[in-house]
Structure 1
Amino acid sequence: MTPEDRFPGPEHPDSGPRHQPDLDVLPYGTYYEPEPTGYAEAAYESETYSGYGGARWLEQHWPAGGHDPQGQAQHGQHDHQAQAQAQAAQHGGHTPQAAHPGYEPTLVDHPSPAHGGEDPPTIELGPPLPEPGVPYHPYPAPAPNEPPGPLYVVGDVHGYLDELLAELRHQGLIDADGHWAAGRSRIWFLGDFTDRGPDGIGVIDLVMQLAAEAAAAGGYCRALMGNHELLFLGAAKYGDEPVQSTAGTASFLAAWRLNGGQQHDLDRLEAHHISWLSRLPAIGLEDGHLLLHSDTTAYLEYGDSIAEVNDAVHDLLADEGVDEWWDCFRRFTKRFAFRGDGGPMAVHELLDTYGGTRIVHGHSPIPYLTGAVHADDGQPPHIPGPYVYADDLAVAMDGGVTMEGRLLIARLPI
């Protein structure tokens, strides 16, 4: 049974090819593993690089100061910005709906050691305001004809804040204090900030902080709307309100719990988080890369252009009811559309509609996509890097951090 089969309900015939629920039928593809640079090769060979242990190891051994991918150190300039951002994060007064005692959840996104789930978001923020009495020193603006900085994508984070910080440091995108150190670089998070891991709100706060710091540096940090953003926001907005499901009476709150929802994230969710998450786009296009959270063609059901899709999702979240929201969540939880013989055709359908020459997505953990999760030796899956498949037309970026894989960050193109 594939993860999407855990969401029984009415099928949408135009939402992409539905592959056989057999993870032993593997797509033809290869791993992309960049040459280690600026970091000890032992870190790539060590078993401790997987999951919690790898991030802890990186954090303990990564030298203070980091590395700027453009060769320009930018450390020490961000402290007042981060403090101002943290101060702004204190505002907002959203009170999440309480869980109904004794409610039995009925839906699961995909199997994992504890629960299951998928997807992430993006919005551009201005530079943070300085604290009173602290002078503000903006980064120099780029020259009019200066080319854009390097482009990076980040796979599903799912609340693993320490792992995210460690990998961002390793890539030279933040400094030792967790502030933007990437100059005019561009970063896209592919969705699924919360659920399963220990600190989803901490992840959201970090991305919001980096978005402000990147904008001040002449770069940007953006994110996509993942299915777990839809689920998390739905749990906060609708709680135990029933939704139409052929699996029986269910609710967003019940599904969120089964898919790894963490109560402490819901307790800390504030109005400014909701506003930011609700405005994240569903699709992005950057340097010929069509950026999606989910490996599904369900996006085609919301419009024939990127702007139409993003507007449709935003309008739905703003005005529609619980059943429409639930249907959107279910559609973007579908997966595996780019696997198998029909995979390249599904990719071309999206590229022909929205543009670009290659799809980059998260959502489906590479260990499930390739069948590596079925290893018989009891060891965590070995994920050397992003997975390129579907005749080299698709790049999978969910390294399976929730199953002791890796949190992947990659520079495009690969």
Structure 2
Amino acid sequence: MTPEDRFPGPDHPDSGPRHQPDLDVLPYGTYYEPEPAGYTEAAYESETYSGYGGARYLEQHWPSGPAAQQHDPQAGHAPQPGHAPQGGHPGYEPTLVDQPSPAHQGTLPGGHQSDDPPTIELGPPLPEPGVPYHPYPAPAPNEPPGPLYVVGDVHGYLDELLTELRHQGLIDADGHWAAGRSRIWFLGDFTDRGPDGIGVIDLVMQLAAEAAAAGGYCRALMGNHELLFLGAARYGDEPVQSTAGTASFLAAWRLNGGQQHDLDRLEAHHISWLSRLPAIALEDGHLLLHSDTTAYLEYGESIAEVNDGVHDLLADEGVDEWWDCFRRFTKRFAFRGDSGPQAAHELLDTYGGSRIVHGHSPIPYLTGAVHSDDGAPPHIPGPYIYADELAVAMDGGVTMEGRLLVARLPI
């Protein structure tokens, strides 16, 4: 249950079809995941959850030379290393509508899907271990852009993020940018449920600075959990009005896996950076969104209008308007089912692009692979393409023992 459903407000008929949580009806779609050279399942699994030490690793290896002073002008300040919390995975798990269930701590059951022939390259194999990091020269004026990558919902799982980025060859063994002129877009939801949301934000800010120095870039979209996190920090227990009674950002944030140690470590430069994240972007024909909803149409008829509208709202409007924005971007499943392709076309026809790439809704819920008789965790071989191949889902369900996805998109 999301706060949208727990504290419902007025209905927004233009926000996409409101599907019933019927996970027994499978949508049509396909998984894609090639295995890069040198990849073995056993080696990958042993690496994925051992990680690189989280925020403690960043503290030990934080750059101290001139490169450390370079930072993205959009970031405001150079990121500061975080502090890893105790206890590892907190055991949060989402339900169909984005609410972690306290009655079901631990692993959610799942099922296996058969793999189709790989058609999307997810990235290069790992670089040779021990290769030092060297900044890349800036691109020549007519040089084409580097390859494009997207990262699904991270939700505070810093170790898994470091592992996946290194597996794709995007960072080196010390957690620094190693991708040259590559371009990376994070699709939002850095915090909540996982152990180190602030550590994730610090890492993305660091990579943004290092990528810019290398002639590439590392950018991010605003997810509904960024809106929720910022709202909890700004408004706390200030009441917001809804048809179900009075609620607050802080209560909703806690219900949705908010971690107090993240809120305690939130600083002004984090707030400044998060508040300026765009809501929508277009890259190489890929329309990048966080949420699989058509609610973006309610904020403008162009990408610039949507981003300006959201930023203006966050800067100048009050708690109820902010809450309504959060509610709208918490909606999901607009591209699932028979009406999904039509909803996808509506966004693509308005904002451009030939395919939508989104996070927000975990793939196991889109595919109905959450439940299995043997209690196995969901099997997520890669991004999920559906809605007549108009939509790509990138939330691999890392919070439910799934997978944090990093994918290279076609150019």
**TM-score of the superposition, structure 2-length normalised?**
0.80
The 3 A distance-change label for structure 1 pair 251 and 205 is same
The 3 A distance-change label for structure 1 pair 117 and 195 is farther
Segments of 5+ residues of structure 2 without an aligned counterpart are 66-70, 104-111
Instruction: Answer whether contact 1:98 1:239 (CA < 8 A) is retained.
Output: no
Give, in whole Å, the separation in 2 of the partners of 1:131 and 1:344: 42
Listed as ranges, the matches of 1:236-315 within 5 Å are: 236-315=233-312
> 1:245, CA displacement in angstroms?
1.6
Instruction: Answer whether contact 1:119 1:293 (CA < 8 A) is retained.
Output: no
Q: Deviations over 1:124-159 (max 9, x none)?
A: 999999999999996421111111100000000000
Give, in whole Å, the separation in 2 of the partners of 1:60 and 1:97: 17
Instruction: Answer whether contact 1:120 1:293 (CA < 8 A) is retained.
Output: no
> 1:5, CA displacement in angstroms?
3.8
Q: Deviations over 1:318-357 (max 9, x none)?
A: 0000000000000000000000000000000000000000
Instruction: Answer whether contact 2:92 2:100 (CA < 8 A) is retained.
Output: no
Q: Which moved more, 1:357-366 or 1:7-16?
A: 7-16
The 3 A distance-change label for structure 1 pair 95 and 64 is closer
Look up the match of 2:78. Answer: 89
> 1:246, CA displacement in angstroms?
2.1
Instruction: Answer whether contact 1:336 1:364 (CA < 8 A) is retained.
Output: yes
Give, in whole Å, the separation in 1 of the partners of 2:82 and 2:58: 36
Q: What SS does structure 2 have at the residue aligned with 1:332?
A: helix
Give, in whole Å, the separation in 1 of the partners of 2:288 and 2:91: 40
Look up the match of 2:390. Answer: 393
Q: Deviations over 1:272-328 (max 9, x none)?
A: 000000000000100000000000000000000000000000000000000000000
In the alignment, does 2:5 pair up with 1:13? no
> 1:371, CA displacement in angstroms?
1.1
Q: What SS does structure 1 have at the residue aligned with 2:52?
A: helix
Instruction: Answer whether contact 1:387 1:396 (CA < 8 A) is retained.
Output: yes
Look up the match of 2:133. Answer: 136
The 3 A distance-change label for structure 1 pair 230 and 243 is same
Look up the match of 2:347. Answer: 350
Instruction: Answer whether contact 1:366 1:397 (CA < 8 A) is retained.
Output: yes
> 1:97, CA displacement in angstroms?
23
The 3 A distance-change label for structure 1 pair 27 and 212 is same
Segments of 5+ residues of structure 1 without an aligned counterpart are 70-84
The 3 A distance-change label for structure 1 pair 135 and 187 is closer
Instruction: Answer whether contact 1:187 1:222 (CA < 8 A) is retained.
Output: yes
> 1:376, CA displacement in angstroms?
2.2
Instruction: Answer whether contact 2:181 2:215 (CA < 8 A) is retained.
Output: yes
The 3 A distance-change label for structure 1 pair 344 and 135 is closer
> 1:2, CA displacement in angstroms?
8.7
> 1:119, CA displacement in angstroms?
28
The 3 A distance-change label for structure 1 pair 68 and 412 is farther
> 1:164, CA displacement in angstroms?
0.3
Aligned length: 398
Q: Which moved more, 1:306-315 or 1:109-118?
A: 109-118
Listed as ranges, the matches of 1:55-74 within 5 Å are: none
The 3 A distance-change label for structure 1 pair 13 and 118 is farther
The 3 A distance-change label for structure 1 pair 32 and 287 is same
Instruction: Give me the identity figure in percent.
Output: 92
The 3 A distance-change label for structure 1 pair 207 and 54 is closer
Instruction: Answer whether contact 2:123 2:169 (CA < 8 A) is retained.
Output: no
